[in-house]
Amino acid sequence: MTVLAPDPRAIRAESLDELRRLRLPLPPAQFPLVWEPGDAVELRPTAEIEARTAILHLVLARCFGMPPQAAMSWLLGSHLVELVTPPEWQFVIGGRGDHRSFVLHHDAIFALAWVLGLTRHLDPVAASDDRLMSLLPNLPAGETFAQWRSRTLVAPRDAAEAAVLLDFYYCLDWGYLEAERRGEPLPGVVDANAIGQRRWALEWAVIFRGPYHDPPAGWEEIDLST
């Protein structure tokens, strides 16, 4: 459902207040807004977010020893092969790619689970919910994507609420990277990599509609450079 996005300047002021509370560096005054006044916001279709969550979960399982044949069989049985990105495919089938970067997707999964309403918080100073793995497809038991969806009661967040959190993580990403660059202490147990992964998931899941927004980007096309 598409709704009017909240006032971006008011939301940005709240995001910066939170950075001050966390004693993180603040982005420069010219730091861009995520959206403009009058823009609309929506979430990607629930089934698409569920599929991306399940695929990232499978990729993570490959990082921790799931055999490539079992991974391929699961993708085929779940009818998700076409939604796997080329870098993911190379890793799942042949183990090629940056293993460490795929491990970091744990926090992207955590953020997508929040968007789906499966977890209660996305606290930047806390690690992921201890129950997260139990909320995802049971790969060792062979639970398919369809079976997982049938047992999981998702309640996607309001799009405006997700937009607010995206702006916060947009600023957090800058603050954490700058704090690490300066050698300053971080406010919690997670690092800039985890914050960046959560932002990546939110940037992908939240879609803005307005004159200055491009069509929704693919997972590998999300730009985290600013």
At 119 the pLDDT is 94
If phi over 0 gives left and psi between -120 and 50 gives alpha, with beta otherwise, what is residue 142? left
pLDDT in tens, 199-213: 999 999 999 999 999
At 226 the pLDDT is 82
At 68 the pLDDT is 96
Counting as low any pLDDT under 50, the low residues of the chain are none
Q: Cα–Cα distance between 90 and 108 in angstroms, integer?
A: 19
Q: Contacts from 59-63 at CB under 8 Å and sequence distance 24+?
A: 59/88, 59/91, 59/92, 59/102, 59/105, 60/102, 60/103, 60/105, 60/106, 60/109, 61/139, 62/91, 62/92, 62/95, 62/102, 63/99, 63/102, 63/103
Q: Where are the domains of the chain?
A: 3-38+158-216, 46-151
At 129 the pLDDT is 81
Which residue type, as a one-letter code, is found at position 27?
A: P
pTM: 0.96
Contact 94, 68 (CB under 8 A): yes
